[in-house]
Amino acid sequence: MIPFDFEYYRPDTPEEAVMLYDDLYKEGKNPLYYGGGTEIISFSRLYQLYPGAVIDIKGIPECNVLEQKNGYLVIGAALTLSQIQESNIFPLLIHCGGRVADHTIRDKITLGGNICAKIPYREAVLALLTCDADIMIQGTDGKKRVNIHEVFNQFLRINKGEFLLQVIINEKIARLPFASYKTTADGAVAYPQDKIGYPVVSGAGINKDGKLRVAVSGVCNYPVRLAEVDNALNDTGIPRFERINNAVEFFPIISDMEGSADYRTFVLKNILFDMMERLEYY
C-alpha cells in the first residue's frame, strides 16, 4: 500500500514518452519511467521513493520486440524476464536474468527495469557486459545506439528524460559457450535452480576467441566487468590459481549481511575457478 498519490501514464510511442517526461519534469512532478514497477512499488511503500508521476513504457511497441535481425538479437526493454526465459533466445541472459528475485516476480520484472534498478545486483546486466551488448536509448532528440560499456558504469548513465528502449546483441556472441553461477548466503543449495535470495557472488563468463570475459554481481555494489580482471585471468603465462588471485585484487569487495568481504573473495575465487573449468580455459 503506497501512502501517497502519483499520476500514471502509458504512452504509445517513444517520442510521446520522452515529451511527457519533459513536461512532467518541468512541472516538478519527479517522474519515473516504469517497467515492471516492482521496485518502484516496494520502495514507495517504504517511503524510499516519491515519484509524482510514473510513465509506463509497456505500451510502446518498440519496447516489446523480441527479434533476430541482421545477425543481431533485439530485445525490448519492456519484456519481462520470464518472457525472455520462455523465448530461449539468449541462453546467458536467461541464466543471469533467470535468477533475479523469483519466478513469479520475473513475470513482472522487465529487462529494462532490472538494468535501471537501484538494487545492487541487477544480474541481467552481467550477460550484457560479457557480450558487449549495444543498447538503444530514446531521447528527446531521437534514438541512439551505444555500446553498453560507454554508458554503464556502476549504473546506466543516460541523460535525464532518456530511457532504455532495447538491448541489441551480436547473435554470434550470444551463442558462445558460457558459464554462469550464483551463490547465496544459505546453506542448503540442493539444486542449481535454488537461487532465491541476494547473491553473495553471481558471475557470468564467456570464452570469446580464446579469451575469457567475466562479469560479476554481489562482489561490489553494482554489476561489473573490469578490463583489468579479464586481463589478469587471460594472463596464461602464469598458473591458474595465481591468475585468479591476481584478478580478484581488482574488485573493491563489499561486506554486508549476506556475506563478509573475505568470504565473498573465497566464493568468487571458487566461481572463477569453476568458470575456467566449465569453459575449458586453463
Partner 1 sequence: MFSLQKKEFMDLNINGEKKSVVIRSADTLLDVLRNQLGLTGAKPSCKNGDCGACTVLIDGWPVKSCLMLAVEAVGHEITSIEGLKETAMQKTFIDCFAFQCGYCTSGFIMNCHGLSRIHPGADYGIIREWLQSNLCRCTGYEEITDAIKSVLDQNAALEQ
Partner 2 sequence: METVGIGVSIPRKESPDKVTGLARYNTDFTSPGLLYAWMVTSIYAHANIKSINISDAIKISGVHAVITGDSYSLLCGPVIEDRPPLAKGKVRYFGEPVAVVVADSEEKAKEAAGKIMVEYEPLPVVNSIKGAIKKGSPLVHENLAFYKQVKPNEIFFKPGTNIVQHVKIRKGDLKKGWEQSEIVVEAEFSLPQSNHIAMEPRNVRAEIKGDGQVVINTSTQAPFDVQEMLAQYFNLDATRVIVHVPLVGGGFGGKTTAQLEIIAYLASKAVNGRPVKLIESREQDMTSSPCHLGLESKVKIGASRDGKIQAAQFTFIVDVGAYVDSGSKMTRAMAADCTGPYKIDNVRCDSYSVYTNHTYVTAFRGFGRLSYVFAIERTMEKLAFALGMDPLELRLINALKPGDTTPTLVGLNYSNIGNLSECLSRLKTLINWDEGVRTETGNYKVRSKGVSCLWKTSSSPPDATSGAIITINRDGTLNLNVGAVEIGPGTKTSLAQILAERLKMDANKIHVAMEVNTGVSPNHWKTVASMTNYMVGNAVLDAAEDLIHQILKIASIVLMCPPEVLEVGGGKVYMKEEPQISIDIKEIGNGYENPNGHSIGGQIIGRGNFIMHQLLPMDHATGRGRLGPAWAVGAQAVEVEFDTRNCTYKILKAATVIDAGKVLNPKCAKGVVMGGMCMGLGYGSREQNLYAQGGKRENPQLRTYHLMRFGENPEYIVDFVETPHVIGPYGMRGIAEHGIIGIPAALANALSVAAQVELNCTPLTPEVIWRTKKGESK
Binding site for partner 1 (CB under 8 A): 1-2, 4-12, 16, 20, 36-38, 41-42, 44-45, 54, 56, 58-59, 82, 101-105, 107-108, 191, 193-194, 196
Task: Phi first, then psi: give them for residue 143, nearest 5 degrees.
Answer: -95, 150
- Residue (165 or 247) nearer to partner 2, CB: 247
Contacts of 55 (CB under 8 A, 6+ apart): 9, 10, 11, 17, 20, 21, 24, 31, 32, 33, 34
Q: Which of 35, 32, 90 lies closest to 60 in space, CA to CA? A: 35
> Under the criterion CB under 8 A, does residue 104 sit at the interface with partner 2?
no
> Under the criterion CB under 8 A, does residue 190 sit at the interface with partner 2?
yes
Q: Could you tell me the smallest distance in angstroms from the CB atom of residue 134 to partner 2?
A: 32
- Residue (86 or 194) nearer to partner 2, CB: 194
Q: Could you tell me the smallest distance in angstroms from the CB atom of residue 29 to partner 2?
A: 18
Q: How many residues bind partner 2 (CB under 8 A)?
A: 29
- Residue (59 or 197) nearer to partner 2, CB: 197
Cα distances (angstroms) measured from residue 32 to each of 63, 94, 136, 162, 187:
16, 26, 18, 11, 38
Beta bridge partners, 164, equal: 137
User: Rounded to an integer, what distance in angstroms lies between the CA atom of residue 104 and that of residue 126?
Assistant: 21
153: cell is 558504469
Q: Which residues bind partner 2 (CB under 8 A)?
A: 1-4, 46-47, 183-191, 193-194, 196-198, 200, 257-260, 263, 266-267, 270
